[in-house]
Amino acid sequence: MDIDLTPKLAKKVYGENGGSYHAWCPDELPMLRQGNIGAAKLALEKDGFALPRYSDSSKVAYVLQGAGVGGIVLPESEEKVIAIKKGDAIALPFGVITWWYNKEDTDLVVLFLGDTSKGHKAGQFTDFFLTGTNGIFTGFTTEFVKRAWDVDDDTVKALLGKQTGKGIVKLDANVKMPEPKPEHRQGLALNCEEAPLDTDIKNAGNVVVLNTRNLPLVGQVGLGADLVRLEGNAMCSPGFSCDSALQVTYIVKGSGRLQVVGVDGKRVLETVVKAGNLLIVPRFFVVSKIADPDGLSWFSIITTPNPVFTHLAGSIGTWKALSPEVLRASFNIPDETEKLFRSKRTSDAIFFPPPK
């Protein structure tokens, strides 16, 4: 499989006053197009307001930094206004309308990963704005706007003439926005940094898996996700997605070494990953990571709402499941080597602490 898997950084698409929107380009990261995956990042400054929009793709949003407010309107439903903060994951199905607002001094940064298989462009999100200089209103003639919304000429001019921003605007500090309601978060968002851990290995790492059990809406999105935190110098077991799902990984914090092995046992990628990198592991390819001393954290989406993984090393590794006879025959090794091999990693699953 001759394809560039090198991790990439996002590039700015638009935004000046109030914030900016960045995306990963499928021309630079070909696996986005091949896997029909979109990836983008929204950064809002203080009083930055991301105008209401909907997308041609279902997504999972993950708050990388800061705190703010999000507005979510599901099809044929009322607006839900939720408080969002670092660590929040939000499922965004097809047809959902969203807006985002930051009233804090710290920038609000939200990552979007999603499925573009039904979108206009493979590997790229297309957003449709309700307002702004590129909003839906600007495309209709005055007659259509008047008749559709039952307004007069002066109102139409006011609606269209006051829109000066594209995608993101900076609001006056005195502007009042809707206050979030705690009950609106139910079923819409899950904080991955506060949720119960699915796996927790002392001195090694932990993981929270986002699936239909803890956030049912991901079933409509068709994607699963996880947040993995690896301790300094710890290792993540070599493993692969055994249900043909793609894994799209964004490095949230820290750095580390990564290797990917593909068809015919060939190492197709060996690199250092750092915060801000995005990479995609092809179906069935085996990936492993070793964190640098400061640790390594990543957020991934998996192209199925309830992913299944096979790990090749550790107490639950595939080699532990195979019989001694098969191991000896496969590796062409004597009995004592097989016993030594099997005796290792009997208590560590998925994550391995640093060597002593």
* Residue-wise pLDDT tens digits, 117-176: 999 999 999 999 999 999 988 899 999 999 999 999 999 988 888 888 899 999 999 999
Question: What pLDDT sits at residue 345?
Answer: 76
Taking only the tens place, the pLDDT of each residue in 241-254 is 766 678 899 999 99
Q: Residue 318: its pLDDT value, please?
A: 72
pLDDT at 243: 65
Per-residue pLDDT at 2 exceeds 80: no
pLDDT tens profile 26-40? 999 999 999 999 999
**pLDDT band, very low/low/confident/very high, at 305 (cuts 50, 70, 90):** confident
Averaged over 233-238, what is the pLDDT?
Answer: 94
pLDDT at site 315 = 66
User: What are 223's two structure tokens?
Assistant: 């994607």
Of 250, 248, 238, 348, whose CA–CA distance to 297 is shortest? 250
154, 1 Cβ separation under 8 angstroms: no
Which domains can be identified in the chain, with CATH numbers?
Answer: 8-132+167-185 (2.60.120.10), 192-352 (2.60.120.10)
Question: How big is the CA angle at 304 (ends 301 and 307), to the nearest 5 degrees?
Answer: 80
Query: 223: closest CA among 236, 210, 242?
Result: 210
Our separate counts of H helices and E strands in the chain read: 7, 23
